[in-house]
Amino acid sequence: MNGDPITSVVARNQCTGCGACAGAFPEFIKMVEDATHGRRPLVTRSEAGCQASRDATAVCAGQGSNWTQLRLGDEIDEAWGPVRAAWEGWAEDPEIRYRGSSGGAVTGLGLFALETGFAGGVVHVAARQDDLRLNETVISHDRAGLMRGAGSRYAQASPCDALARIKAGDEKVVFVGKPCDVASVSKAMRHDPELAEKISLTIAIFCAGAPNLVATDALLKSLGVPKGATIRDLRYRGNGWPGLMQATWVGSDGQETKSNGIPYGAGWGGILQSHRRWRCRVCADHSGAFADISVGDPWHAPPSGNEDAGRSLVVARTARGQAFVEAARRSQSIYVETRPRDVIARAQPNLSATNGAVWGRRMAMRMFGLGAPQDRGQKLLAQWWALPMKQKALSVLGTWKRILRDRLWQPVRISGRTQ
């Protein structure tokens, strides 16, 4: 049927898989697990479905975001989004610090919100209990629930599919997601004041892209997990910083086996990142500009091994976020030390280079007649221009090569089971 812009967003490789469209209109839009393309929305083929799809564009950040809505005061803000304050630290709870990907700050902040009554629930993702390769959105109300989601989940996730549950619930929540997820939630909150009243705080986790199910299966193969085995545990990170990628499974003989661990660098760089979706490669916000608080790895002070005590980089984007972090520090839920506001560039130099390349990649797409996300008010051209000449050229020429190799002009068509 005509007039279905959400399906068009998917077809044009602009969908992030955040799930906001399905969360806003659950009767007409469902999320589907596609092994290659990731979690993507499926719109009911009816006039009501098309109308829901048209209305859902108001909450879709896949097509782009509006940076003019952000408080940008200087060059640091223009490059990374608002940075009111920055810290480095960890969760005071030793188990949370150990289990977390990089110091457990997100889990520690979530637990502080629940224990103080700041929020009644925390929206986050956790491994699906019936298939640990996949993620599901959960709303946790206690420490045990939060611990289900501790540690990175390098797999497709759609935490915004909880929007309807959040709005219908009788409690305020803290929302935790990737930068693209939080960007969509920010749009939804602007569009729906009633929903905004229910979300007390947003926390974004730094992200370099979300691998697909094919990537997870490749990781399991490298860990020696046989096909058909029942997976009992799958760790992408955590249990030390940055942690090892490791799986436990039960084979056809009923024997439980735990694999050797793969270091984070080998697992991410050697297996997972090559399976990121194209939309992730043209993303211009990897550090959560639209969140109240952003949390990532402080790679400028890297761990000495694979299982060091974790450390988190914590960035306050709004006054609400800054006040919350400072309250959590006073309560000894987290320990933080103040860092300069420009710390993100030093902690995440790879993201600086990525942001610079995005303008060149998007320009290359448009030169081929392909649509690309548009982020109003973000100075991507200046970041691209600051790159060395070789990197500028590669951002364009490399994209042309990928367009031809992967036939990116062909519409994305999804298949799989509805979740």
CATH architecture of structural domain 78-211+275-347: 3-Layer(aba) Sandwich (3.40)
Mean pLDDT per block of 10 residues along the chain (419 residues) reads 85 96 97 93 95 97 96 95 98 96 96 98 96 96 96 94 97 98 98 97 96 95 94 94 95 92 93 93 96 97 90 98 98 98 94 91 95 93 94 96 94 71
Start-end of H helices in 268-388: 278-281, 319-330, 343-347, 349-367, 380-385
What pLDDT sits at residue 315?
98
Which part of the chain has CATH 3.40.640?
78-211+275-347
d(CA 193, CA 62): 21
Which among 192, 299, 327, 204 is positioned nearest to 242, based on CA atoms? 299
What pLDDT sits at residue 32?
94
d(CA 55, CA 35): 28
Residues 6+ apart with CB under 8 A from 105: 89, 90, 91, 295, 312, 314, 334, 336
What pLDDT sits at residue 353?
86
Angle, CA 320 vertex, CA 316 and CA 325 arms, to 5°: 55
Q: What are residue 249's phi and psi, to 5 degrees?
A: -145, 165
Cβ neighbours of 373 (radius 10 Å): 22
